[in-house]
């Protein structure tokens, strides 16, 4: 069995914005400290949940720099490049590579418009070959095209620097089609939707990229760690807990409830997103429902020092 490059819980860290729109870089460091203290050893930087579309390349580099400064020596960083053109992706990836701060990189399909299979292959192959460290593909509905099993298999066979695949399609059949083509023992399959990370790991993924872990890292780590040791029942019980939390948190827009939920743990508190103010609004009824659920699940006790 081949050794997997990355394994376990990978937290998709949030970007801590201030009310004036600036990034609170000191708080970014504290957020990484919180993840390390919670046992997380993999960080996903400049992802969609981190509002990469709202950040300049210079800001992305500073976020990566601070992440590396606050990670433990054994932690791995996956730096994301989700730009709108090959040229812009290469520009950011070169900045990443020149810094030497990331352990691996993550790319997506082109945004906005549907691409043919051959065009998707060409886009991905050029970026994979450009990088000097392992590359992961992030498959998500926010982009214009999903990766079909044949295209992903062709990329994996012809471009050995492609090391893994994060599935955020929420389509288990789609994932199984890909696993039918690609040996999971020779490729890092990663979950990418907190609602089904447990089942995806039971199918053979070696980890997951989780935004829920911003707020509840220990609970997400339970899902992943139980799956890795083959304890299906414990993994699914942990997944059910996450699903209950997610069901409530998704009643608020975007990251709003994830930011609100930081008060339950020892996490630093993020002020807001960089989006319009109403995107950060959590209705009182949702706050009350989440407060009650967190109490019933006994979550706060796990984060007391």
Nearest C-alpha neighbor of 195 from the set 249, 149, 141: 249
Instruction: Render pLDDT for 99-120 as a digit per residue (tens, 0 to 9).
Output: 999 999 999 999 999 999 999 9
Q: Is the pLDDT of residue 1 over 90?
A: no
Average pLDDT over residues 282-305: 96
CATH numbers and ranges of domains, the chain: 8-229 (3.20.20.70)
Torsion-angle region of 51 (φ positive above 0: left; ψ -120 to 50: alpha; else: beta)? left
> Contact 146/174 with Cβ under 8 angstroms?
yes
Locate the DSSP E strands across the chain: 8-12, 42-45, 76-81, 104-108, 135-140, 162-168, 188-191, 207-210
Count other Cβ atoms within 10 Å, centred on residue 173. Answer: 7
Q: Is the pLDDT of residue 305 over 80?
A: no
> Contact 110/143 with Cβ under 8 angstroms?
yes
Handedness of CA 81, 63, 73, 202 (dihedral sign): negative
Q: What is the pTM of this model?
A: 0.97
Average pLDDT over residues 39-53: 98
What is the average pLDDT value for the chain, to the nearest integer? 97
Instruction: Render pLDDT for 187-202 as a digit per residue (tens, 0 to 9).
Output: 999 999 999 999 999 9
């Amino acid at each position: 069995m081949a050794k997997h490059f990355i394994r376990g819980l990978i937290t998709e860290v949030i970007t801590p914005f201030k009310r004036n729109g600036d990034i609170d870089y000191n708080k970014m460091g504290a957020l990484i400290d919180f993840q390390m203290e919670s046992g997380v050893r993999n960080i996903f930087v400049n992802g969609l949940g981190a509002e990469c579309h709202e950040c300049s390349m210079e800001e992305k580099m500073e976020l990566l720099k601070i992440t590396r400064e606050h990670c433990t020596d054994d932690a791995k960083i996956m730096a994301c490049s989700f730009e709108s053109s090959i040229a812009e992706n290469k520009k950011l990836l070169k900045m990443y590579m020149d810094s030497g701060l990331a352990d691996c990189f993550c790319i997506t399909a082109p945004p906005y418009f549907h691409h043919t299979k051959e065009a998707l292959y060409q886009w991905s192959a050029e970026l994979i070959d450009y990088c000097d460290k392992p590359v992961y593909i992030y498959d998500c509905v926010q982009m214009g095209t999903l990766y079909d099993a044949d295209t992903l298999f062709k990329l994996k066979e012809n471009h050995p620097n492609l090391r893994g695949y994060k599935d955020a399609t929420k389509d288990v059949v789609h994932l199984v089609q890909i696993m039918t083509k690609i040996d999971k023992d020779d490729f890092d399959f990663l979950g990418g939707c907190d609602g089904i990370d447990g089942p995806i790991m039971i199918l053979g993924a070696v980890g997951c990229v989780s935004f829920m872990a911003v707020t509840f890292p220990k609970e997400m780590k339970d899902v992943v760690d139980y799956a890795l040791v083959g304890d299906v029942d414990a993994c699914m019980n942990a997944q059910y807990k996450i699903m209950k939390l997610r069901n409530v948190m998704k009643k608020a827009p975007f990251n709003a409830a994830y930011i609100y939920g930081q008060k339950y743990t020892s996490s630093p508190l993020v002020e807001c997103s960089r989006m319009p103010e109403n995107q950060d609004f959590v209705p009182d009824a949702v706050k009350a429902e989440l407060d009650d659920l967190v109490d019933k699940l006994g979550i706060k006790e796990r984060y007391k020092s």
